[in-house]
Structure 1
Amino acid sequence: MKIAVVVGNPKPESRTLRVAEAVADVIEKLLPGQPAERQVIDLADYSSRLFEWPEPTLAELNDAVAASDVLVVASPTYKATYTGLLKAFLDRYPSNGLQGVVAVPVMTGAADTHAMATEVNLRPLLVELGATVPSRGLYLVMTRIAELEAIAAEWGSANAHSLIPAVQGRLEVASRG
């Protein structure tokens, strides 16, 4: 099982990255019989190249994400939506460029007032790119970062019924080649 984690926080090694990796950990635990290979893409490391065309490194990263089985996409909440950094990376895909990839939207923020941003803003973008988004996303208020593992585990339990079959279906399709 190939898991890609893409984080659109302009700050390298951010708390948003920690949240995204915790979600990826939960997904691995939900599918214990599937050995996982994980690629983490912290877009802060590539920000100076996002608007260069062509850009071979970013093309390789886009290809790797499109070839993944599971994609965890994370962003801090900026102006009630995701960052321009994440949008610039995802804009490099054509329509249906993430066809068949099972995606999980994740957002972080300072308060619950933007908790719907995950579902209202990030989910539709992933669907537009052809990704399958079978479960609710995770929104974490950063004042609760100390509870991250418990919150991620609770999210996994609440969404396992839709996430597991979607990932298993993707893996079956991928194994047929």
Structure 2
Amino acid sequence: MTVTVVVGNPKPASRTLTAATLLAEGLRPGEEPAVVDLVEFGAGLLGWGDPAVTAAKEQTAASDLVIFASPTFKATYTGLLKLFLEQFDGGTGLAGVVAVPLMLGAGPTHALAPDLLLKPVLTEIGATTALPGLYLADRTFAEDGVLTAYTERWRPVVDALILGTGVTNHA
């Protein structure tokens, strides 16, 4: 089983990265998620063929579960995440990947953003997006219980999607 977190925060080692890692660990306890912190790629995300971006894309596409995380910027996900998602082919780029959209924000105003804005893009590029998106308060997610409640509720669904069929994304 391969679990990856893809983080589109323009700040390295962000709260978004922390939240995404906690979500991955909550949905797949005992599995160390691989981390793709998009801020590390800089201008490499602006075109196609950058070796580091290509390796991150391949890692993501080969994963069984991927958390796609972004802070809320201008009521949507960041341009960094958009640039990375553009690297995947429509319909098939994330075939076989269970994807969970995660967004953080200062308040509940944009609580529907993960489902309304990020989830359709993940679906368009072939990911299985059976779980609802998760929106977390960026300053209180570590202690407010929302993350724990989400993982307890949805862990069995992730297990069923990934393990129940006996099909994984590895060869």
1:5 Cα deviation (Å)?
Answer: 0.5
Instruction: Report the equivalent of 2:35.
Output: 40
Structure 1 segment 82-101 matched on structure 2, within 5 A: 82-95=77-90, 96-101=92-97
Question: Displacement of 1:57 after TM fit?
Answer: 1.3
In the alignment, what sits opposite 1:3?
Answer: 3
Q: Offset of 1:151 from its aligned partner?
A: 2.4
> For residues 10 and 81 of structure 1, what CA distance do their matches in structure 2 show?
14
* Count of aligned pairs between the two proteins: 170
- TM-score, normalized by length of structure 2? 0.92
Gaps of 5+ in 2: none
Cα gap change, 1:175 to 1:57, in 2 (>3 Å): closer
- Residue 128 of structure 2 is matched in structure 1 by 132
Name the counterpart of 1:19: 19
Which whole-Å deviations, capped at 9, do the CAs of 1:91-130 have from their partners, x for residues lacking one? 0011120001001110000110000001001111110011
Q: Does the C-alpha gap of structure 1 residues 110 and 176 become closer, same or farther in structure 2, counting only changes over 3 Å?
A: closer
Query: Identity of counterpart residues, as a percentage?
Result: 42
- RMSD after superposition: 1.8
- Within 5 Å, give how 1:93-132 maps onto structure 2: 93-95=88-90, 96-132=92-128
- Residue 65 (structure 2) aligns with: 70
Larger deviation: 49-58 or 97-106? 49-58
Name the SS for the 2:159 alignment partner.
Answer: helix
CA distance in 2, matches of 1:146, 1:37: 19
- Paired residue secondary structure (1:173): coil
1:115-170 CA deviation, whole Å, 9 max, x = no partner? 0001001111110011001111211012313416x322111122234322112146
Gaps of at least 5 residues in structure 1 are: none
Compare the two structures and name the one with the higher helix fraction.
1
Give the Cα separation in 1 of the matches to 2:155 and 2:48. Answer: 39
Is 1:174 matched with 2:145?
A: no
Change over 3 Å in CA distance of 1:175–1:125 after alignment to 2: closer
TM-score, with structure 1 as normaliser: 0.89
- Cα displacement (A) at 1:63: 0.6
Letter in 2 for 1:100: G
Question: How far did residue 59 of structure 1 move?
Answer: 0.7
Task: Report the CA distance shift for 1:59/1:154 in structure 2 as closer, same or farther (over 3 A).
Answer: same
Whole-angstrom CA distance in 1 between matches of 2:19 and 2:9: 12
